[in-house]
Amino acid sequence: MTLAAATDLAAATNEHLANISNTLIYSSMAVYTLAFFAHILEWLFGSRSKVARTAAALTAGGSRPAAKGAPAVTVQQGGSTTVLERPQVVVRAAAGARDVPDGPGAHGGDVQGDLFGRVAVSLTVLAFLVELAGVAARAASVQRAPWGNMYEFNITFSTVAVAVYLTLLALKKNVRWLGLFLVTTVLLDLGLAVTVLYTASDQLVPALHSYWLYIHVSTAIFCGAVFYVGAVATILYLFKDSYEAKLQAGGKPGTFATSVLERLPASASLDKFAYRVNAAVFPLWTFTIIAGAIWAGDAWGRYWNWDPKETWSFITWVAYACYLHARATAGWKGRKAAYLAMLAFACWLFNYYGVNIFVTGKHSYAGV
């Protein structure tokens, strides 16, 4: 590279904007931390879901006629006999009433908890706007798409993940229960980005100067963000399903498990929510792989090179295809399909972090 070319490359990087970007990212982390504590307060003081309150009342000995055909328990209370429904029957029957029932603070009945929830969402919106400004400043500092390395990919990914969550809220989807888990993992993601994965603002290598960068990588980021939302719902489903099964068996969950899991939607609703978001984004993930293959043909002369990134993208596609097929097949709904969903997301995570950090291939352009 000639001295003139090196001077032009340095001039193309605006260090002032790069520093502003870093400041904005750190500022967003501070606001996300406030949102995290607000969500904690919401979970501490917010009302439990309607389904959980019903199950808890029955477990505590409240009386209610048994549903027709449902297993019942007979309890002696001061010489009188009370017939109670099994908590599991009530929980699962109520689950189909709505796609995603109310979570912490969203049902009402606890003004203080609901207030903390609204504060948490407001802080999340503010943190999102600050982080989005940080991503935009990073892009402006080098006058290109802000995903040329793992640091930029991380900050963009977390921004899009929060955008997906806020969009669902704006569409009147009752997903505020996702807020605590979202903010926690976003903080972890940004912490990893600004410490281990940080890369100084710089220009792209020539191979990445293509309009396919905007198409292929942007869709990959969006798909990952939606897959992440589905994975969180799947994990919560597995915990909530075990909790409901324990209630059905007449067991008594621990205090911590009860206080947390009672504030989640019913397991059937979590399962349905996870399936819907994964199914909705799967066609776009298919397009992402096809777009990458077309770009590979332009850049490397071959549409498919069995590069590690290509291979694991395809493995991820196969895993999610198996999950969607299993979810639609009788006998594979529920926990079995959920395990497949977690395996598929683990493949995506390895493709996201493992391939870039530990494996060398044609996609190894900027270290991390």
- Write out pLDDT tens, residues 248-305: 888 777 776 777 787 788 888 899 999 999 999 999 999 999 998 888 887 777 787 7
Q: Each residue of 190-245: pLDDT tens digit?
A: 999 999 888 887 776 666 667 788 888 899 999 999 999 999 999 999 999 988 88
Q: Whole-number mean pLDDT of the chain?
A: 77
Give me the pLDDT at residue 364, please.
Answer: 52
R_g (Cα) of the chain, nearest Å = 24
Q: Grade residue 361 by pLDDT with cuts at 50, 70 and 90.
A: low
Q: Which two tokens stand for residue 301?
A: 């002369």
Q: What percent of the chain has pLDDT over 90?
A: 38
Residue 178: closest CA among 50, 115, 264, 269: 264
Give me the pLDDT at residue 27, please.
Answer: 97
Phi-psi group of 143: left, alpha or beta (phi > 0 → left; psi -120 to 50 → alpha; rest → beta): left
Averaged pLDDT, 40-66: 53
Cα 22–chain centre separation: 24
Domain residue extents for the chain: 15-59+91-358
Type and span of the H or E element at 83: strand 80-85
Give me the pLDDT at residue 204, please.
Answer: 67
Averaged pLDDT, 71-92: 43
Q: Is the pLDDT of residue 47 over 60?
A: no
What CA–CA distance (Å, rounded) separates 157 from 150?
10
- Count of other CB atoms within 10 angstroms of residue 268: 24
Give me the pLDDT at residue 3, please.
Answer: 38
Type and span of the H or E element at 74: strand 72-77
Top-confidence range, 43-47, 50-54, 151-155, 207-211: 151-155
